[in-house]
Amino acid sequence: MHNKGTKLLNLPDPLHLATRTGCSGTITLPGSKSISNRALLMAALCNQPVTLKNVLESDDTARMLEALQILGVTITRNESDPSEYQLHGWGGRWQPRHDELFLGNAGTAVRPLVAVLAASLREDQAMRLDGNARMRERPIAALIDSLTAAGADIACHAEPGFLPLTIRGGLSGGEVRIDGSVSSQYISALLMALPLLPQDSELMLVNDVISVPYIDLTLAMLRDFGNRIRKLSDRHYAIAGGQQYRSPETYFVEGDASGASYWLGAAAISGGPITIYGVGKHSIQGDVRFAELVQKMGATVEMLEHGIRVYREGALKAIDVDCNDIPDAAMTLAPMALFAQGTTVIRNVASWRVKETDRLAAMATELRKVGARVEEGADYLSVTPPEQWQHATLDTYDDHRMAMCGALIAFSPVGVSINDPQCCSKTYPRFFEEFSRLCHD
């Protein structure tokens, strides 16, 4: 009925990419992972059917679709358009087929489901959530602590703050507090859950808040699905209880702005031009701001109604930039830095350490393999281009973004090899196919 996770076909492992000297053409982005999984869950919380278009086909969305089916949601896939689904849920009154959800390494499924189930499971219902080995290593303590302090009944079965865990509901309204400095996904999860409660709530964010654009994206989507949340400040939200998710009938998922970063980077390194369709001047995704950083490095960027056009004529220059708001897209700056004049510093990205892998450590290790001078700090990365390029086989750590960032090193005079290119299936199954189409010798 729905995808079981898309796998790349016929790719050697490792994948050897010979030197590329140019990259030009047009690319249409797959749907955003962040928007796709939010939209799937919001649609499942509606009483009336919702048709979702341009849903990303990936491992993460496959795990969410499987979880929603287990919870009793009826899901129909359009046979003529595999990116279109119709969901008919129960308005948050789940009818589970059994009591366990396996969510792989899909953080965009785990976080919101933990909060929403804590708000919506009946007293006589319990649901166990588990993931793969890496997901069991990814802490969600801040979210669990916030939910249990607000009355949720959540039991962790191994280490406190980690999967596997069992939820029995119990969340109640009032003042809910959470550390805003760890992951914006925790905040988005609470914003999706709290309208389901009968009581009014106030969400208070403690410490510095990271990735604010992702929170704003969630608020925009909640409005589209009939929920009203008052943003009193970046740290304070008022949420009326007793709200219902309302079907927008049809909802279109924007192209993945994080995925756009690789083509923005490829055009900036090679000269382009590349036109990227699926995000544009009206995008609700914060990662579209990556285009501004590419422009600061020396590329020319034209924001179109539903696209972005990028090319470069002069030299690529190093930048020193705070990337707290766009940590996922910011990873693409690291391989771009190898081709820029000077030392690029990517700051305020401590959240890289709790992603699919420790991305600060992983990126430092892999860039050193090609000859770059790299300094890794607690929350920053400093990259100076190689004086002498070295061909390397890059490890990807089962992290899709490590693989796609690594592809940009093919613009070096020695090319690059990439272990486990298949890990791109998490968000961008056809990335290397598109890379081969657009990037040429």
Write the pLDDT tens digit of every residue in 182-233.
889 999 999 999 999 999 999 999 998 988 999 999 999 999 999 999 999 9
Whether 31 shows a pLDDT value over 50: the answer reads yes
Mean pLDDT for the stretch of residues 112-124: 97
pLDDT of residue 426: 85
Please state the rounded mean pLDDT for residues 295-312. 97
> Of 218, 252, 286, which residue is a domain's last?
252
Mean pLDDT, residues 227-248 taken together: 96
State how far the Cα of 344 lies from the Cα of 13, in Å rounded to an integer.
31
pLDDT higher than threshold 70 for residue 7: no
Residue 359 counted as an annotated binding residue? yes
What is residue 182's predicted lDDT score, i.e. its pLDDT? 87
What does the alpha-carbon distance between residue 183 and residue 295 come to, in Å, rounded to a whole number? 27
Q: Does the residue 5 lie in any domain?
A: no
Place of tokens 């281009």: 385
Place of tokens 């090679």: 270
Q: Is 388 annotated among the ligand-binding residues?
A: no
342 is in an annotated binding site: no
**pLDDT value of position 9:** 57
The verdict on whether residue 34 carries a ligand-binding annotation is yes
- Indicate if 186 and 273 belong to the same structural domain: no
Tell me if the bond preceding 14 is cis, omega within 30° of 0.
yes
Indicate the pLDDT class of residue 43, thresholds 50, 70 and 90: very high
Query: Looking at the structure, do residues 258 and 248 belong to the same domain, yes or no?
Result: no
Q: Are residues 182 and 228 in the same domain?
A: yes
- CA 98 to each of CA 63, 64, 68, 87, 158: distance values in angstroms, whole numbers, following the listed order: 15, 15, 11, 19, 21
Number of domains into which the chain is organized: 2
In whole angstroms, give the CA distance from residue 43 to residue 248. Answer: 9
Residue 184 annotated in ligand binding:
yes
Give, in order, the Cα–Cα distances in Å from 107 to each of 33, 104, 224, 300, 415.
Answer: 11, 9, 23, 34, 32
Check whether residue 339 and residue 423 sit in a common domain.
Answer: yes
Q: What is the pLDDT of residue 356?
A: 87
Residue whose structure tokens are 């030009």: 24
Tell me which of 227, 252, 277 is where a domain ends: 252
149, 277: one domain: no
- Is 228 marked as a binding-site residue? no
> Phi/psi of residue 211, each to 5°?
55, 45
Q: Which residues are catalytic?
A: 328
Q: How far apart are CA 302 and CA 309, in angstroms?
A: 5
What is the rounded distance in angstroms from the CA atom of residue 20 to the CA atom of residue 382?
Answer: 25
Percent of the chain whose pLDDT exceeds 90: 92
Residue 315 falls inside a structural domain: yes
- pLDDT over 90 (residue 10): no
pLDDT digits (tens, 9 = 90+) for 91-111: 999 999 999 999 999 999 999
User: 90 and 195 in one domain?
Assistant: yes
Same domain, 247 and 268: no
Q: Do residues 217 and 309 share a domain?
A: no
Tell me: is residue 317 an annotated ligand-binding position. Answer: no
Range of the domain at 329: 15-31+254-440
Task: Classify residue 26: in a domain, yes or no.
Answer: yes
Quote the pTM value: 0.86
Q: Is 240 a member of any domain?
A: yes
Q: pLDDT tens digit string along 359-413?
A: 999 999 999 999 999 999 999 999 999 999 999 999 999 999 999 999 999 999 9
* Annotated binding residue 230: no
Q: Residue 223, annotated ligand binder?
A: no
Which H or E element spans position 230? Answer: strand 229-233
Mean pLDDT of the chain: 95
44: number of CA atoms within 13 Å, CB side? 32
Q: Please, which pLDDT band fits residue 427 given cuts at 50, 70 and 90? A: confident
Q: What is the mean pLDDT of residues 49-62?
A: 94
Looking at the domain assignment, is residue 8 inside a domain?
Answer: no
Same domain, 221 and 341: no
Which residues fall within 8 angstroms of residue 105, CB to CB, at 6 or more apart?
Answer: 59, 131, 132, 134, 135, 138, 356, 398, 426
| 2 pLDDT above the threshold of 80 | no
Which residue type is seen at 92?
A: G
Amino acid letter, 335: P
Query: What values do phi and psi take at 188, rounded to 5?
Result: -60, -40
Judgement on whether residues 284 and 433 belong to the same structural domain of the protein? yes
d(CA 159, CA 346): 32
In what helix (H) or strand (E) does residue 359 lie, and over which residues does it extend? helix 359-369
Domain boundary among 252, 284, 317: 252
**CA neighbor of 180 nearest in space, from 204, 201, 202, 206:** 206
Indicate the helix (H) or strand (E) that contains 304.
Answer: none
- Rounded Cα–Cα distance for residues 65 and 383 (Å): 39
Q: Is there a single domain that holds both residue 55 and residue 120?
A: yes
Q: Are residues 67 and 115 in the same domain?
A: yes
Annotated binding-site residue? 355 = yes
